[in-house]
């Protein structure tokens, strides 16, 4: 929960204060009905509004006050601030002695940034009742907004003392005390208070009022503040079970999604919240943050403007607005130095008129300690990878508001991103002492514990940190990195000013290497990738403790990010740094990319240069992520083939100068973005044609197949295509429908291959593999095999160890579709199992060329080259095999022999010693090593 809106939350949480005298029976019944409608989110229910309106004219003052408060709450939940203020102000004029009415009016003024009016009403309420909880909370919050942090901390402390003294039992009081106590915990770093709130105060509030969804909102928000997203979601869901329309709860869920990098889910939830309350500040700012996360500050501004319309003095909103100015119009040299942040009124003339300076100047005039503003501004800049000015913001926030843990936490996590581990250790330890419940801080400290036990290896241009179990891997990785350093830096025209750190994470303390790697990059235990770069450091999940992968390719890819990000001062967009990194990997084009390219072109949903960044920054699913990689690579290939390879690096320079993509495209290629896309279209058509050549055609999606069938309803192939799509695209329950269609097709054409393949698939669902195989054998035509029959029959025979049949089937399939990788691989393995080696060199080489992570093909090619005594080939395949499985002793022995036969004694000894290190009883390696001395 943000400190900037504590009082607003308190206002929304405490609609009803218990009257001094018992309510009359008819009034009590009306209020009960109205409360029930409001608690369950039926804000426009006539019974609720009618009850509040009728009771507002009741004779007793306490009844009238409670009715007006309830009515204002109904209005506020749907964003009708003006009408709510009108009702409260009128009631205060009529009932000037009502402390609850004045307190609620004070909270509304605070929520709208009217601090003078808010303080006036809060003070008046406290004259009437010195223990009016909401008024005290408002007064403490105003002191925060005035930069009076120490007095505010004492005001928050009062709530802890009040609870200990009075021990209230009603839900409203407990929740207000929880709000105040949370403010005290933040100001003083008393972490156990957070635990008390979540484990005692909020559950007690629910016991007192089972409809108090606000309790779940408060506990969920505190958990989310500590990045305990799993438990936070549980709390929000419990609240939504009571009030499914609560904008607060929906935004809480949205914040949890955004924190876990699910921006589209977050957007959907925030939009649901705005459907209830179009002026909900948290929802508006969350949508702004979604746009900022997608590197679209211009798109964020309208959301920020709407939030500031509600509260023009909102620190978070002002910080986001200032951040947008800096991102859109540039960060001047020293334009966010500590001097400018400390005294914006004396900013140099060349920046004094900038919007961010004016915002800061105005804010500091009324609040000399704007810790939240500075922290939020730093977060905006850090998210945009502007690390130096972000560091200045966090440092200044710590200086003016040392009581706050948020800027310390943010600075420590940023120092981890930039590789300043020593500084991060100190500040994260301080942050943890102030807030022991912050999950990311806790996880990062554990990461530091692991890193501090790691060994370190330094080379001319790199620093490697690794567990002792990865010593062999680190040794060869360092060699690989140094070998690629000069060609890559020469090609990119840039050398990092400092050595680049590579951190290799292995299993430790009961957690996998990938979990440690994930925690290192995000503070959370899971991310999808196996390698990542912040632009300053690179982290890898050790290939020795998980399924092997081509670590040399991943390391090269990530080092390219270091070059492009640093070279452009982190101004290069995500899509282009990925495009250049993938380009260095060679002619890589996974089958997943081909599938998505074909499907999305047919559906008209290809990413363009204007939208491709969304695939990285706010993917709706894994397909978006993969398609973004695909299109990024194709755009770079188009540039290179059409305008020359130098154009790639001229575009990098354009981003270095701060140009955005439309302007950068015009400067480098001399055309508009629209004309660039027009030229790209025929290139893309040619690429797709090349990709499809010799490959199994993509089966049409269900809608496309149905449209084709409509045009020719009697065509059996079209009927079969629809039935096949039903199996692939529709729910499993429609399998019976596909089967009926296949049966009908077979009545007309008993050997129709796709119809038989459909029935075979259905047989396999029922575990009738023999029946499936009989059908497919009937359907198989070796002269003109259907790809579905080849795929299913070949695999069934292979799994049955009937390698003769699988070889025949995949051989026929490969003859018709010579570039189908799965046919190539399974034919090769089938022939290998049959000890028929004549075609294996050709087949395994094709596999290796198209699958960078395949170890089997490279290992076989290494040993085949040794048998043939083609030593250069043996070295090639041995190196590639080692770059997937660096701990295989046989590979190192084979490389040692190849180098020895090629006359490279030094390299021979290197690999043979490694072979013996990995397998000390390898006598063949020992004999070879003896001969190499």
14-18 contacts, C-beta under 8 A, 24 or more apart: 14/133, 14/134, 14/172, 14/175, 14/176, 15/69, 15/70, 15/72, 15/73, 15/172, 16/66, 16/69, 16/70, 16/172, 17/66, 17/69, 17/100, 17/172, 18/170, 18/172
Q: Where in the chain is the domain with CATH 1.25.40.10?
A: 3-240, 284-440
- Give CA separation, 207 vs 211, 215, 240, 816, in Å: 9, 10, 17, 71
Of the candidates 56, 152, 141, which has an alpha carbon nearest to the alpha carbon of residue 98? 56
CA distance linking residue 670 with residue 647, whole number of Å: 11
For the segment(s) 284-440, the CATH number from 4.10.95.10, 3.40.228.10, 3.30.565.10, 1.25.40.10 is 1.25.40.10
Pair 878, 860: CB distance under 8 Å: no
Specify the pLDDT at position 587.
Answer: 82
pLDDT tens digits, residue range 757-794? 999 999 999 999 999 999 999 999 999 999 999 999 99
Pair 370, 361: CB distance under 8 Å: no
Specify the pLDDT at position 6.
Answer: 39
Query: Tokens standing for 42?
Result: 């039926």
Handedness of CA 37, 43, 47, 51 (dihedral sign): positive
Its CATH class, for the domain covering 457-597+629-651+669-682, is alpha beta
The end-to-end CA distance of the chain, in Å, is: 68
Specify the pLDDT at position 19.
Answer: 44
Q: Where in the chain is the domain with CATH 3.40.390?
A: 457-597+629-651+669-682
Q: Which CATH superfamily is domain 3-240 in?
A: Tetratricopeptide repeat domain (1.25.40.10)
Helix axes 646-656, 574-583, angle to 10 degrees: 150
Residue segments in the chain with a per-residue pLDDT below the cut of 70: 1-27, 45-50, 55-59, 526, 546
CA distance linking residue 184 with residue 187, whole number of Å: 5
Specify the pLDDT at position 453.
Answer: 95
Give φ, ψ of 17 to 5 degrees: -105, 140
252-259 contacts, C-beta under 8 A, 24 or more apart: 252/217, 252/220, 252/221, 252/224, 254/283, 254/286, 255/224, 255/282, 255/286, 256/224, 256/229, 256/232, 258/286, 258/289, 258/290, 258/293, 259/224, 259/227, 259/229
Which pTM was predicted? 0.87
Query: Tokens standing for 145?
Result: 């907004």
Specify the pLDDT at position 438.
Answer: 86
Query: Which H or E run includes 464?
Result: strand 462-466
pLDDT tens digits, residue range 117-158? 999 999 999 999 999 999 999 999 999 999 999 999 999 999
- Angle value at C-alpha 130, between 126 and 131, nearest 5 degrees: 110
């Amino acid at each position: 929960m943000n400190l900037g809106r504590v009082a607003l939350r308190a206002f929304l949480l405490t609609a009803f204060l218990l009257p001094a005298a018992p309510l009359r029976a008819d009034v009590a019944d009306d209020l009960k009905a109205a409360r029930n409608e409001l608690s369950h989110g039926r804000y426009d229910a006539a019974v609720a509004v009618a009850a509040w309106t009728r009771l507002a004219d009741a004779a007793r003052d306490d009844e009238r006050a409670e009715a007006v408060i309830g009515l204002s709450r109904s209005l506020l939940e749907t964003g009708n601030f003006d009408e709510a203020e009108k009702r409260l102000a009128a009631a205060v004029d009529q009932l000037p002695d009502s402390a609850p009415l004045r307190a609620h009016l004070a909270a509304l003024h605070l929520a709208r940034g009217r601090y003078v009016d808010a303080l006036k009403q809060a003070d008046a309420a406290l004259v009437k009742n010195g223990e009016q909880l909401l008024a005290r909370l408002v007064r403490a919050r105003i002191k925060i907004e005035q930069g009076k942090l120490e007095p505010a901390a004492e005001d928050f402390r009062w709530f802890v003392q009040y609870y200990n003294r009075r021990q209230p039992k009603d839900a409203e009081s407990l929740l207000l005390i929880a709000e105040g106590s949370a403010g005290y915990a933040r100001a003083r770093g008393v972490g156990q208070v957070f635990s008390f709130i979540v484990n005692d105060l909020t559950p007690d509030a629910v016991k007192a009022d089972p409809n108090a969804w606000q309790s779940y909102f408060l506990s969920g928000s505190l958990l989310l503040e500590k990045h305990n997203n799993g438990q936070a979601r549980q709390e929000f869901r419990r609240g939504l079970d009571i009030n499914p329309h609560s904008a607060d709860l929906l935004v809480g869920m949205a914040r949890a999604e955004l924190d876990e990098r699910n921006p589209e889910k977050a957007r959907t939830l925030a939009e649901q919240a705005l459907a209830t309350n179009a002026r909900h500040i948290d929802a508006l700012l969350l949508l702004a943050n979604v746009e900022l996360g997608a590197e679209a500050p211009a798109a964020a501004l309208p959301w920020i403007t709407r939030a500031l319309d509600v509260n023009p003095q909102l620190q978070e909103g002002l910080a986001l607005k200032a951040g947008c100015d800096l991102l859109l119009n540039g960060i001047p040299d020293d334009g966010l130095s500590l001097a400018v942040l400390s005294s914006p009124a004396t900013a140099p003339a060349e920046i004094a008129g900038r919007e961010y300076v004016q915002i800061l100047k105005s804010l500091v005039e009324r609040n000399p300690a704007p810790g939240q503003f500075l922290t939020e501004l730093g977060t905006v800049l850090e998210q945009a990878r502007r690390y130096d000015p972000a560091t200045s913001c966090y440092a200044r926030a710590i200086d003016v508001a040392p009581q706050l843990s948020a800027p310390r936490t943010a600075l420590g996590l940023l120092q981890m991103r930039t590789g300043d581990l020593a500084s991060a250790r100190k500040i994260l330890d301080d942050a943890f002492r102030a807030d022991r419940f912050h999950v990311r801080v806790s996880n990062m400290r554990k990461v530091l514990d692991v890193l501090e036990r790691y060994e370190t290896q330094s080379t001319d241009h790199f620093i490697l940190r690794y567990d002792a179990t990865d010593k062999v891997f680190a040794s060869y990785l360092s060699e690989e990195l140094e070998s690629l350093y000069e060609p890559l830096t020469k090609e990119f025209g840039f050398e990092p000013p400092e050595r680049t750190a590579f951190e290799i994470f292995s299993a430790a303390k009961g957690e996998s290497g990938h979990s440690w790697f994930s925690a290192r990059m995000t503070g959370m235990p899971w991310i999808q990738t196996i390698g990542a770069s912040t632009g300053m450091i690179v982290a890898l999940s050790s290939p020795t403790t998980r399924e092997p992968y081509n670590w040399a390719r991943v390391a090269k890819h990530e080092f390219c990010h270091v070059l492009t990000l640093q070279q452009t001062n982190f101004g290069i967009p995500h899509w282009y740094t990925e495009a250049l990194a993938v380009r260095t990997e060679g002619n890589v084009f996974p089958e997943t990319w081909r599938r998505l390219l074909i499907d999305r072109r047919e559906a008209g949903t290809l990413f363009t240069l204007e939208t491709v960044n969304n695939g990285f920054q706010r993917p709706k699913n894994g397909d978006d992520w993969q398609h973004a990689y695909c299109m990024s690579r194709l755009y770079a290939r188009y540039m290179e083939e059409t305008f020359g390879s130098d154009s790639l690096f001229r575009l990098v320079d354009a981003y270095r100068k701060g140009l955005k993509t439309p302007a950068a495209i015009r400067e480098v290629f001399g055309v508009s973005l629209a004309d660039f896309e027009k030229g790209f279209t025929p290139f893309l058509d040619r690429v797709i044609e090349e990709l499809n050549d010799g490959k199994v055609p993509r089966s049409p999606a269900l809608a496309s197949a149905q449209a084709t069938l409509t045009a020719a309803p009697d065509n059996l192939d079209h009927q079969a295509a629809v039935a096949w799509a039903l199996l692939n695209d529709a729910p499993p329950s429609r399998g019976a429908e596909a089967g009926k269609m296949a049966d009908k097709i077979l009545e007309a054409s008993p050997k129709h291959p796709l119809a038989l393949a459909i029935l075979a698939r259905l047989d396999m669902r029922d575990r009738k593999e023999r029946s499936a195989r009989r059908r497919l054998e009937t359907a198989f035509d070796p002269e003109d095999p259907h790809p579905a029959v080849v795929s299913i029959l070949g695999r069934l025979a292979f799994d049955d160890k009937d390698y003769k049949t699988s070889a025949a089937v995949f051989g026929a399939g490969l003859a018709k579709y010579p570039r189908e990788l799965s046919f190539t691989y399974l034919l090769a393995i089938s022939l290998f199992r049959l000890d028929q080696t004549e075609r294996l060199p050709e087949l395994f080489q094709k596999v290796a060329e198209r699958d960078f992570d395949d170890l089997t093909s490279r290992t076989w090619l290494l040993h085949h080259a040794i048998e043939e005594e083609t030593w250069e080939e043996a070295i090639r395949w041995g190196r590639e095999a080692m770059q997937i499985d660096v701990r295989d002793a046989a590979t190192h022995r084979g490389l040692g022999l190849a180098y020895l036969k090629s006359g490279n004694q030094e390299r021979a000894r290197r690999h043979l010693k490694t072979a013996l290190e990995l397998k000390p009883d390898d006598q063949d390696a020992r004999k070879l090593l003896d001969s190499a001395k």
